[in-house]
Amino acid sequence: MMRTIAFGPTGERVPAIALGCMRINALDAAGAEKYVKTALDLGANFFDHADIYGRGECERIFGRAIAGIPREKMIIQSKCGIVPGQRFDFSKEHILSSVEGSLERLHVDYLDVLLLHRPDALMEPEEVAEAFTTLKDSGKVRYFGVSNQNPMQMQLLQKFLPMKIVANQLQLSITNCTMISNGIQVNMQTDTALGRDGSVLDYCRLNDITIQPWSPFQYGFFEGVFLGNEKFPELNAVIDKIAADYGVSNTTIAVAWLLRHPAGFQPIVGTMNLNRLKDCFKATEVTLTRQEWYDIYKAAGNVLP
């Protein structure tokens, strides 16, 4: 069964891997039902959504796929705050209307987790606090978090919130790991020593905020996957060797690299391929050695001081 991790400051434990549903609209009704059932059978019951995925269609498809499944069997997370191509919107009105829309499309009475989707430059934290309090008191959302926010943004928001921020969804993979490299390159005159995210990794660990890595197989900003990519020959050679040693796939090792970090990351995997999904889940059974972790880190082009 799926290994579990502590979820933020909630006192609850959740699956070590979450399922991203951004691509579920690529499946037909039968495929979506099989995807959900397979995940649940394997102990992976944490599903990540956003109101903008498929312009709402992903939540609708998922809502139909879970018909007849007891609500308490699933942990459902969604995100709001992006108006595609127009603005980011953390106004109370937008947050409340977005949640209502998600609940209707998902055919559920409540969300387990709501994340603010990317920072809004015009955020008024008092207004966000009012929206969150309304949702909490009405039983429509249990826990709240953010995505792609730095420590000061979270600290500003937390100042006004009556509840704790439980999660921060951040881009993180073997090839996109500046938040890790910043800590290794402290006091060095190297490019990766530049603090681009304000020590967000340490801040989240200090404040019991679960980091949810998104795009764990991507390099750049949705430029493609690094696994099997000729642009990363050394990285793939190292990953493939370690995968062979453990008798698993390269996909498994890529996820295991994230899970090896003591921060307790909860990677968001978005594959709709059931075999690859199972390979992702196998990562919870693999604990890389310290040397293997660093070998992969260096093979990705990261340099030790």
> Beta-carbon neighbour count of residue 205 at 10 Å?
16
Is 4-299 a domain of CATH 3.20.20.100? yes
Q: In the annotation, is 53 catalytic?
A: yes
pLDDT at 1: 77
Label residue 278 exposed, middle or buried (CB < 10 Å: 0-12, 13-18, 19+): middle
> What is the model's pTM?
0.96
Q: Which of 53, 143, 203, 297 is catalytic?
A: 53
pLDDT at 191: 82
pLDDT at 187: 85
Report the C-alpha gap between 61 and 18 in whole angstroms.
Answer: 18
Report residues of the chain scoring pLDDT below 70: none
Q: What is the tens place of the pLDDT at every residue in 95-109?
A: 999 999 999 999 999
Residues in Cβ contact with 266 at an 8 Å cutoff, skipping those fewer than 6 apart: 5, 7, 14, 15, 16, 17, 18, 46, 167, 210, 211, 212, 213
pLDDT at 297: 98
